[in-house]
């Protein structure tokens, strides 16, 4: 009987330790997370601190990206970085930011790896947490618990999610996440149990979104040939409004994060990138 009591106490201690570790992980996720806004680009996303004045996010959060066919079966990707980026800290402080990882022909990895590093115009006056990027040897296994924070949709404050790694692509460039990811989560840090950033949350499963996009394009093509209003209402435009609402709010419960490897390798190739001078 006494042995059973000892075992029970040990189990309670282990549970308490696990709960404490998870609470610290969630706290780290929230204290390092930021919201990134561009009014000119009508863009809003998430990000996270890796230095006193440096924030990581997705490239598509800080730039307008378009693909133009070249007539030879290929597409030319064009981009324009927003010039009015504002970074909202957990403390409520807002600071202007500038992208310092600009894609070039010599190194287009920020575009194709979908990451960006923003340098703040000045150091925050209030405390925050900085994240460590996962090292080369850190492995992610299917079933591992992950945590991420961000500003999805129109939430008036930061939202934190706990999910699970459900897979990855063959190269390990994309991590599949079983969790509710919505527009606005892009750029948030995907944290492992050690509190290291293993990825940058990038997008949700596109099955439904792709179908809705195709329907919206069909409506646009049809509308260009004219439309008929019924009692003052255009059925095509009404349907398009419903499509846009569904595309905004439907989540399949599956999301993706780009491996932190892209950002880490870029920093390693540019050792003076994060100098505060």
pLDDT: which is higher, 226 or 158: 158
Reported as a single tens digit per residue, the pLDDT across 55-104 is: 999 999 999 988 777 667 777 888 999 999 999 998 999 999 999 999 99
When mean pLDDT is compared over 66-75, 113-122, 236-245, the highest value belongs to 113-122
Average pLDDT, the chain: 84
List phi, psi (to 5°) of 91. -75, -10
Residue 140 — very low, low, confident or very high, per pLDDT cuts 50/70/90? confident
Residue 147 has pLDDT above 90, yes or no: yes
What integer pLDDT is reported at residue 9 of this predicted model? Answer: 45
Residue 108 — very low, low, confident or very high, per pLDDT cuts 50/70/90? very high
Residue 121 has pLDDT above 60, yes or no: yes
Give mean pLDDT, residues 127-151: 93
What integer pLDDT is reported at residue 13 of this predicted model? Answer: 41
pLDDT: which is higher, 238 or 96: 96
Reference 198, options 207, 206, 189; nearest CA is: 189
Reported as a single tens digit per residue, the pLDDT across 190-232 is: 999 999 999 999 987 655 555 556 666 666 777 666 666 665 5
Do residues 212 and 246 lie in contact, with contact meaning Cβ atoms separated by under 8 Å? Answer: yes
Least confident of 2-11, 17-26, 203-212, 236-245: 2-11
What integer pLDDT is reported at residue 72 of this predicted model? Answer: 73
Residue 176 has pLDDT above 50, yes or no: yes
What integer pLDDT is reported at residue 137 of this predicted model? Answer: 84
What integer pLDDT is reported at residue 209 of this predicted model? Answer: 57
pTM of the prediction?
0.80
What integer pLDDT is reported at residue 154 of this predicted model? Answer: 80
Residue 241 — very low, low, confident or very high, per pLDDT cuts 50/70/90? low
What integer pLDDT is reported at residue 10 of this predicted model? Answer: 43
pLDDT: which is higher, 75 or 260: 260
When mean pLDDT is compared over 40-44, 88-92, 187-191, the highest value belongs to 187-191
Residue 267 has pLDDT above 80, yes or no: yes
Residue 5 has pLDDT above 60, yes or no: no
């Amino acid at each position: 009987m006494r042995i059973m009591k000892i075992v029970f106490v040990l189990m309670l201690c282990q549970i308490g330790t696990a709960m404490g570790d998870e609470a610290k992980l969630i706290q780290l996720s929230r204290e390092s997370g930021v919201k990134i806004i561009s009014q000119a680009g009508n863009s809003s996303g998430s990000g996270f601190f890796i230095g006193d004045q440096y924030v990581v996010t997705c490239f598509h959060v800080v730039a307008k990206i378009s693909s133009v066919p070249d007539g030879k079966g290929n597409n030319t990707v064009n981009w324009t970085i927003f010039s009015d980026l504002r970074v909202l800290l957990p403390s409520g402080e807002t600071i202007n930011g500038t992208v310092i990882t600009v894609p070039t022909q010599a190194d287009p990895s920020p575009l194709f790896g979908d990451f960006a590093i923003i340098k703040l115009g000045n150091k925050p006056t209030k405390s925050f947490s900085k994240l460590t990027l996962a090292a080369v040897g850190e492995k992610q296994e299917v079933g591992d618990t992950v945590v991420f924070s961000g500003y999805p949709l129109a939430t008036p404050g930061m939202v934190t999610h706990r999910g699970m790694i459900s897979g990855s692509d063959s190269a390990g460039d994309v991590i599949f996440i079983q969790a509710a990811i919505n527009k606005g989560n892009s750029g948030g840090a995907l944290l492992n149990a050690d509190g290291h950033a293993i990825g940058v949350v990038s997008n949700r499963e596109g099955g439904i979104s792709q179908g809705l996009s195709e329907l919206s394009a069909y409506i646009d093509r049809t509308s260009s040939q004219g439309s008929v209003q019924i009692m003052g209402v255009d059925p095509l435009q009404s349907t398009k409004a419903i499509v846009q609402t569904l595309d905004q709010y439907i989540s399949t419960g599956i999301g993706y994060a780009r491996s932190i490897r892209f950002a880490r390798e870029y920093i390693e190739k540019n050792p003076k990138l994060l100098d505060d001078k």
